[in-house]
């Protein structure tokens, strides 16, 4: 899998884009990440479809709390989200 990358839609926005090679074909697919009203929860959309919500826990782990994000891409999503949130 190619490393995930990100592209912020706005530095102060609660929504940002990340790009991940979901299908291992060398093509980056857009994921839209939206921070929910709970500042530790992030909704993940693949293109225009909701696929799940990830929660950032106090021990710095991430948990899928809603939806059905395939396990093989969660680490790429989290890595890209961390890069964005760090900036």
Host H or E run for residue 10:
none
Q: For the chain, what is the radius of gyration of the CA atoms?
A: 12
**pTM of the predicted model as reported, rounded to 2 decimal places:** 0.78
How high is the pLDDT of residue 12?
52
SS3 of residue 36 by DSSP: coil
Rounded to whole angstroms, the Cα distance separating 17 from 83 reads 12
| Alpha carbon distance 31, 19 (integer Å) | 6
> Percentage of the chain surpassing pLDDT 70?
86
Q: Residue 11 above 70 pLDDT?
A: no
Q: What letter would DSSP give residue 35?
A: E
What is the pLDDT averaged over residues 66-82?
92
């Amino acid at each position: 899998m190619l490393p995930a990358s990100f592209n912020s839609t706005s530095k102060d926005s609660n929504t940002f884009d990340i790009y991940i090679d979901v299908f291992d074909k060398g093509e980056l697919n857009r994921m839209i990440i939206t921070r929910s009203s709970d500042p530790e929860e992030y909704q993940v959309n693949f293109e225009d479809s909701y696929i799940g919500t990830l929660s950032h826990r106090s021990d710095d782990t991430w948990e899928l709390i809603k939806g059905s994000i395939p396990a093989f891409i969660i680490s790429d999503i989290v890595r890209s989200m961390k890069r964005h949130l760090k900036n």
